[in-house]
């Protein structure tokens, strides 16, 4: 269990995995600053967690906006004194396309959210965690199983999620002198608003469409809370949480 008063920032906190993680952390007593672009969605999560031991606070911001991201972390320090955890979760998909059909603007949009946004949040978390007393904290990056194995016709998403693995490893290495731990959670087929689009079938490598099994997104939230519960001298470097029967092992 996390200590009462520990401070977390969760990006993409208004829905899906971010919502589930925020509620799980608040259930363990964390104070959670919810970050996302849609205030109404964030406030809905705050209302859903009203009876939990911890506290949920909405903080609308766009993770691709450098000044807004700095404001999120500076605001957390002013309000709570420190930041103990960042769950770097904000992300976006793109339409399924072959690479020669992808407009540059679409590629740039995915990179901006999935990679640059994760970098900006990690940079600010590192800055705060390095300077605070007691020093240190934890960063958890949402990698997706696409950080390991691609889906067909998803080059932008796959490239950014592979890059998250490099970001995680670099943060894990560079954070050692300052008590900053960094790990990655790779999620496969959690039932969320984003994956609901796959109800008619997901393209497979053999050209077929398949309705793939999903899992309860709350199980992902519990996994994030477990990673966050460890002392800083222990770290889950990488964890894969997936629907048991999904066709991940053996893609190709």
Could you tell me which of 24, 35, 30, 31 has the C-alpha nearest to residue 62?
A: 35
What is the distance between the alpha carbons of residues 142 and 84, in angstroms, rounded to a whole number? 17
List of domains in the chain? 7-242 (3.40.50.720)
Which pLDDT value is given to residue 4? 43
pTM of the model: 0.94
Q: Is 178 a catalytic residue?
A: no
Q: 27 to each of 63, 83, 95, 136, 184, how far by Cα in Å?
A: 25, 18, 35, 23, 21
Which pLDDT value is given to residue 155? 98
Pick the catalytic residue: 30, 73, 126, 157?
157
> Which are the contacts of 38, defined by CB distance < 8 A and separation ≥ 6?
14, 60
pLDDT by residue for the chain (252 residues), tens only, comes to: 334 479 999 999 999 999 999 999 999 999 999 999 999 999 999 999 999 999 999 999 999 999 999 999 999 999 999 999 999 999 999 999 999 999 999 999 999 999 999 999 999 999 999 999 999 999 999 999 999 999 999 999 999 999 999 999 999 999 999 999 999 999 999 988 777 777 778 888 888 888 888 899 999 999 999 999 999 999 999 999 999 999 888 765
């Amino acid at each position: 269990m996390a200590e009462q008063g520990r401070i977390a920032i969760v990006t993409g906190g208004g829905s899906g995995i971010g919502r589930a993680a925020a509620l799980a952390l608040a259930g363990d007593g964390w104070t959670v600053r919810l970050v996302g672009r849609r205030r109404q969605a964030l406030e809905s999560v705050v209302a859903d967690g009203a009876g939990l031991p911890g506290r949920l606070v909405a903080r609308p911001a766009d993770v691709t906006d450098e000044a807004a991201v700095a404001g999120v972390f500076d605001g957390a320090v002013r309000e709570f004194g420190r930041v103990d955890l960042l769950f770097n979760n904000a992300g976006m998909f793109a339409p399924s396309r072959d690479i020669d059909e992808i407009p540059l603007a679409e590629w740039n949009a995915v990179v901006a959210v999935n990679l640059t946004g994760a970098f900006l949040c990690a940079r600010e978390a590192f800055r705060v965690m390095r300077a605070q007393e007691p020093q240190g904290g934890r960063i958890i990056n949402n990698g997706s199983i696409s950080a390991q194995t691609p889906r067909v016709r998803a080059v932008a998403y796959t490239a950014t999620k592979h890059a998250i693995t490099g970001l995680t490893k670099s943060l894990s290495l560079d954070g050692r002198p300052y008590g900053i731990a960094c790990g990655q959670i790779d999620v496969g087929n959690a039932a969320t608003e984003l994956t609901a689009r796959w109800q008619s079938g997901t393209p497979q490598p053999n050209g077929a469409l398949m309705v793939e099994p999903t899992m309860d997104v709350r199980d992902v939230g519990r996994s994030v809370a477990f990673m966050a519960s460890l002392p800083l001298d222990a770290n889950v470097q990488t964890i894969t949480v997936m629907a048991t029967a999904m066709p991940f092992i053996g893609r190709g």
